[in-house]
Amino acid sequence: MAMGRPREFDVDKALDLALQVFWRKGYEGASMADLTETMGITKPSLYSAFGNKEELFRKALDRYVDGPGGYFQVALAKPTARAVVEHLLYESAAAVTDPNHPPGCLAVQGALSCGDAAESIKQELMSRRAKGEQDLRQRFERAIAEGDLPEGSDAADLAAYVSAILQGMAVQAAGGTTREQLRRIAEMALRTWPPGLASV
Amino acid sequence: MAMGRPREFDVDKALDLALQVFWRKGYEGASMADLTETMGITKPSLYSAFGNKEELFRKALDRYVDGPGGYFQVALAKPTARAVVEHLLYESAAAVTDPNHPPGCLAVQGALSCGDAAESIKQELMSRRAKGEQDLRQRFERAIAEGDLPEGSDAADLAAYVSAILQGMAVQAAGGTTREQLRRIAEMALRTWPPGLASV
DNA sequence: CTAGTTTCCTACCAATCGTTAGATAAGTGA
DNA sequence: TCACTTATCTAACGATTGGTAGGAAACTAG
């Protein structure tokens, strides 16, 4: 059977470029003109290859999670809860200030608040963040079971606490904070890890 | 001299309604149609009373800082560094989950990332966040001078740390986290406050 | 009552939004 | 070479964006 005209651009390269645009401008702030211009392709090519703007964002998001955001899954595989948190905090500080990428975290600033048209993207990012926090909670549950965290620790609370610090660091990075400053924040959080049990 | 036709709507009420829209949808996500509809006025009335979209946002932001975000300045006036941080964390947990308002914090989610047209608003929010962190730093410097915080503490680092936790809580709230969960995050942060000196 | 001032609303502006029709070009299999 | 398939492009689509003209309406000062 016929194979048709071959594509003249690299889909993965184009997706990486789209990711940069979404990362820097957010889902709403990135226009199709922005995207096609930096991707180096025309709009029909984009639609043919990626569906529409929303599908393009979702594919870019997948690529983000497996690429620049991959440190999260790596951290979960560390042998101790402390090593997990250390890796999370330091690698996050590095990732959100990587000069090769826009500052901040796509999962946080991609669509933190938005108009009606982007609502489903906002939901997607919310559930991704929630998923990350849940994965962390399960990792802490395991740590508690292994005696790696104090008995009586609340894995869900610890996961929410670490997630909040990570997301806060992402906001700081979006505001121009330096990598060194974020590392000091990470140090301070680690200095008191784990934050001890509630005195109920 | 002649006084002209009196305005038929309450400017402050309209501004409060605009604030709700910006808070929920962000600067970019809030369209003029959204704004005029919920404000209950027509576009020419809005432009006549507030200038343009950008000025309207800035005025709504001022109103936010003096209203729902007023807990920040209140916290800075507390007598001890610990009281400052306690007030900040607990009042922030309450504010970003107040059922009478959209979830989260306008200064964080108003324009965390955006297109070119909203760049100046993004900058404005960045500098407001930086200003808040700086105010907190100065408050901690005073606390150090008063012996209220351990000698050798780094006020700037402590301010960045607390700011990150507050901003992280705002992101969590935007993601639907409950007030109770945020209070537990605040508790954990307070349990280890101040985070101790670096062991350099 | 009139002149002057200001707000009101309808209708519209140009520009941009995301998206697509339709024609042409470039490849494969027979 | 010919039919088939797929990618390419120009040019446009209707809808929505932020923002305004221009006139009627409502007030005050004289």
How would residue A198 be classed by pLDDT, with cut points 50, 70 and 90? confident
Assign residue B113 the CATH number of its domain. 1.10.357.10
Q: Return the ∠ at Cα B27 (arms to B92 and A104), rounded to 5°.
A: 65
| Count of CB atoms situated within 10 Å of the CB of B19 | 23
Give the Cα separation of A189 and A86 in Å (integer). 9
pLDDT, tens digit, 9 for 90 and up, residues A56-106: 999 999 999 999 999 999 999 999 999 999 999 999 999 999 999 999 999
User: Given CB atoms, is A113 within the 8 Å cutoff of chain B?
Assistant: yes
Residue range of the domain that includes A91: 69-191
Residues A34 and A126 in one domain: no
Residues B150 and B162 in one domain: yes
- Residue B85: which residues within 8 A CB-CB, separation 6 or more? B75, B162, B189, B190, B193
B110 CB neighbours in chain A (<8 A) are 113
How would residue A200 be classed by pLDDT, with cut points 50, 70 and 90? low
> Checking phi first, is residue B66 left (phi over 0); if not, alpha (psi -120 to 50) or beta?
alpha
Residues B185 and B86 in one domain: yes
Average pLDDT of the segment spanning A173-198: 95
Residues B109 and B164 in one domain: yes
Asked if A158's CB is within 8 angstroms of B172's CB, the reply is no
B178 to A4, A31, A92, B93, B173: CA distances (angstroms):
54, 34, 25, 9, 7
**pLDDT for residue B2 is more than 90:** no
**pLDDT for residue B103 is more than 80:** yes
Residues A29 and A57 in one domain: yes
Average pLDDT of the segment spanning B45-60: 98
Strands in B6-148 per DSSP E: none
Instruction: Tell me, yes or no, whether B199 lies in a domain.
Output: no
Amino acid at site B34: D
How would residue A197 be classed by pLDDT, with cut points 50, 70 and 90? confident
Give the CA-to-C1' distance from B150 to C14 in angstroms: 62
Q: How far is A97 from chain B (nearest CA, A)?
A: 15
Give the Cα separation of B102 and A81 in Å (integer). 35
Question: How confident is the model at residue B52, as a pLDDT?
Answer: 98
User: Given CB atoms, is A152 within the 8 Å cutoff of chain B?
Assistant: no
Assign residue B54 the CATH number of its domain. 1.10.10.60
A112 to chain B: closest CA residue: B109
pLDDT, tens digit, 9 for 90 and up, residues B62-90: 999 999 999 999 999 999 999 999 999 99
pLDDT, tens digit, 9 for 90 and up, residues A131-151: 999 999 999 999 999 999 999
